[in-house]
Structures are given as structure tokens and as C-alpha cells.
Structure 1
Amino acid sequence: MTGAEDSRPVRIVVADDQEVVRAGFGALLGTQPDLVVAGTAADGAAAVAACREHRPDVVLMDVRMPVMDGIEATRRITAAADAPRVLMLTTFDLDEHVYDALVAGASGFLLKDVTTERLFDAVRVVAAGEALLAPAVTRRLIGEFARLRPRPPSAALDALTPRETEVLRLVAEGLTNAEIAARLVVGEETVKTHVSRVLRKLGLRDRVQAVVAAYETGLVLPRLGGR
């Protein structure tokens, strides 16, 4: 990537059926020189169309919208090879629809009452290719709904080596690459390589998808009673 490409502003599509929300987020994002709102959408179908037209880097996607909800829109948007990252917008953290959106391919979620700096940071993090994995809330969300809707163990993990499986389990526990490296007594670059191989072998986009996969396949079992 060239320096010019590195300095290109992050292009964003804001999808929400409430005009005041679209305008509010758009105005906030527009105050940052490295962020630009390329388009907006009032429903999921319009969001899919906006992504085709504007080719954004990040989509802020409301969960509940008319015509097509945010979950189906996320599924369609993230199906493309060069898909943007999707951040779900929700009014409360333990939202079953957000869990479904993470399974569909979203890279994280934000509460609609998010602070301004948290909003900016979240957009920049996912635009850089990282997953927005709020350690406590996102894992709690995934764990809660994986517990309520358990699935039988999957053979999908058979493609992983024992060490890759161990790394996936530690990622699902919320450990950073540095923490995994310390736990396994290996270099951080080695952990990064393992994580990259896990994502590639399982066809996953980022660490959020890895956490979802760990629960969905039965590799990690949800804790009962929130313990």
C-alpha cells in the first residue's frame, strides 16, 4: 500500500431508519479529517445498494430497519470478497439480533449512546482490519446466546492443528496476541501467524468471527450463570 493510499480518508456508510440518528452520526464523523461519510441509507436494502455504489470501508448498521433488517443486509454486504467492515448499532448490549449479526459477518457493535471518541476509535479500528472486540460485552453477548441456542460440536475445526486449535480457544477467551504468546511461551509474531492461519482455514474475517466460531463449534462452552 502506498503512502497516498494510507492517507486516504476512511469512507463510511451510515444505515439507520431514523433520520436524526443518520444525521447525528454523520455530523460527528464529518468533524474528523480522516473520516468521511460517503453515503447514508434508511433501510437495509438501501444500505446494500449504497455499499455497491460508494464502496465504503466501514458501515454503521442499525439492527432493526424496514424493507430489509440489518442482519440480512450485513449478510449480503459481507458476502463480497472486498466487503467493508460492518459495525452494528444497537440500544442495548445483550441484544439477540446483534448476536445474529455477528454470526452474519459483522465485526463488532456499538451502543447508540456511544461516546464521540469511542465512535471515532471504533471506526478507525475496524477500518484498519482489526475486529472491534469489546472484551467484556462482546464475549458476554456471544456466550449468552450461544448458551441459549447450543449447537452440536462441529467437524469444521478438523482442519486446524492442535496448536492452532489452542490459539483459537485462547482468542475466544479474550486474550490478546501478547497474552497468548506469554501463555504459550512463544513469540508474538508466531501467535499472529497462528491466528492468520486459523482465520484462513475457517474462512473467517477477523477475531470476532473467530470467537463466534469457537462457541458455534463447541470448542468453547458458555459459562453458566455469567461466571
Structure 2
Amino acid sequence: MSHASEVVTVMVVDDHPLWTDAVERDLQAAGFSVVATAADGDEAIRRALATRPDVVLMDLQLPTVSGVEATRAIREALPDTKILVLSASGEQQDVLDAVKAGALGYLLKSARAEELYEAVRRTAAGQASFTPGLAGLLLGEYRRLATEPAKPERPELTERELEVLRLIAKGMTAKQVATRLVLSHRTVQNHVQNAMGKLQVHNRAELVRYAIETGLDTESS
């Protein structure tokens, strides 16, 4: 990876050769090192793996594999390579899809040259860069997600079912649980069956595994 004193390496991905040539020329003149270009998603993935650039300037509308899919593939294969989307589209869904796929920033093609250079530098340093207004789209979406009711971490078990499940997870038999909680053996078995139904597990071993995975066996009873 590049440090401040090193030249930032960039790959330019776009299916318009004239645009790619112009961006490559501008970046080189601004002191960046363009190590590769690609005209489609497949080629972008291959060339990124071969050259391992610090930053990939990624268009979204690409032949073969979309820019979003190419972004996802490159991020999975090369965690140190940062993706900066450079697109003509400022549509909310495109911005969200790109960020979800792993893009660190999103710039519109209408950006000035200086904005592009600054965004590439920031991206190489691991900082997010967005054309003004696009970051607001993301914030709005994240706020909406944050205010949606959270899904419960585990299905709603009654206090008694949880109590029975905790004791069984600690190795007690149904009879021992019945004695401990001063319940009939049949009542304990009913609680176990109800819990298994809610958790969609099919036997006691799965029930115990669920309790251990969710930390129930370590909660105080």
C-alpha cells in the first residue's frame, strides 16, 4: 500500500476509450501512476488482480460484469485495494448498491479535475469521498434503516421456556428441571416442545447447541 511519500497507483475502468485516455492522462500529469485500464467488468477484475492498484476508478455501466459486481469481486480478492466510483449516474440506488458492494467513495463524472485528484488521494488513504449531496442520500438511507424495528436476536420465548432451556443447556434432565422449578415432568416437557417449535430445532442436541450459541447456558438462572 502507498504511504504519503509514495506515488498512488490507480486503475481506470470505463467502457469509453476516449474518456479513459483523458482521465489516465490527467491523473498521470497530476502525479498519480496509472498502472492499468479496463473496458469491462471481467477485464477490471483480472487486471486488478494482476496489478494490485491502490485505487480503482470504477464506472458502473460496464459490459460483461457490472461495476457493482466488479467492485464486490475486487474488494473480496484485494482487501487493500480501494474503490472509487466515477459515474454519470447520481441515482440513489446506484450509490447505495456501490457502497454496499464495498466502494469507499462515489464521484459524478461532472466533478472538476481537482475534485477527482483530491478524491483519489482521500480514497487511497482510506477516507470516504462523495460528490456533495450523494453522502446525504446515504445518511438518509442509514437513518431509515436505523429507525426500522430491529429483528429480535432470538424468537420470543416465554420467561419459563427460557428458564427451562437454560437448565437443560447446563446438562439437567427434564426430571431434574421439574424438581428444580417445582413443576410436573409433563409441564417441563411441554415447555421444551414449545421452545423447540419456536426455534425450529428437532431434537434436544440442537436445542442445547442453540442455547450455547446464544449464550443462554451462561446466563444466570
State whether residues 14 and 40 of structure 2, in contact with CA within 8 Å, keep that contact through their aligned partners in structure 1: yes
Distance 1:81 1:68, change over 3 A: closer
- Aligned partner of 2:44 in structure 1 is 47
In 2, distance between residues paired with 1:144 and 1:5? Answer: 33
- Aligned partner of 1:30 in structure 2 is 28
Distance 1:20 1:146, change over 3 A: farther
For residues 170-181 of structure 1, the aligned pairs below 5 Å read none
**Deviation at residue 99 of structure 1 after TM alignment:** 1.4
State whether residues 96 and 145 of structure 1, in contact with CA within 8 Å, keep that contact through their aligned partners in structure 2: no
State whether residues 89 and 111 of structure 1, in contact with CA within 8 Å, keep that contact through their aligned partners in structure 2: yes
For residues 45-194 of structure 1, the aligned pairs below 5 Å read 45-80=42-77, 82-133=79-130, 136-141=133-138, 143=140, 153=150
Residue segments in structure 2 that go unaligned for 5+ positions in a row: 154-221
Larger RCO (CA under 8 A, 6+ residues apart): 1
2:29 is paired with a residue of what secondary structure? coil
2:77 is paired with a residue of what secondary structure? coil
State whether residues 63 and 98 of structure 1, in contact with CA within 8 Å, keep that contact through their aligned partners in structure 2: no
Identity %: 38
* TM-score w.r.t. length of structure 1: 0.59
User: Which residue of 13, 16, 19 maps to 1:18?
Assistant: 16
For residues 80-118 of structure 1, the C-alpha deviation after alignment (integer angstroms, 9 at most, x for no partner) is 353311011211323422310110100011111210100
In 1, distance between residues paired with 2:10 and 2:73? Answer: 17
Please identify the structure whose Cα radius of gyration is greater.
Answer: 2
For residues 11-43 of structure 1, the C-alpha deviation after alignment (integer angstroms, 9 at most, x for no partner) is 00000011111111101101122x110000001
Distance 1:103 1:5, change over 3 A: closer
RMSD of aligned residue pairs (Cα, Å): 2.8
For residues 113-145 of structure 1, the C-alpha deviation after alignment (integer angstroms, 9 at most, x for no partner) is 210100000000010121224564223245359
Number of residue pairs matched? 152
State whether residues 41 and 62 of structure 2, in contact with CA within 8 Å, keep that contact through their aligned partners in structure 1: yes
Distance 1:5 1:121, change over 3 A: closer
For residues 176-221 of structure 1, the C-alpha deviation after alignment (integer angstroms, 9 at most, x for no partner) is xxxxxxxxxxxxxxxxxxxxxxxxxxxxxxxxxxxxxxxxxxxxxx
1:9 is paired with a residue of what secondary structure? coil
State whether residues 122 and 132 of structure 1, in contact with CA within 8 Å, keep that contact through their aligned partners in structure 2: yes
In 2, distance between residues paired with 1:128 and 1:114? Answer: 20
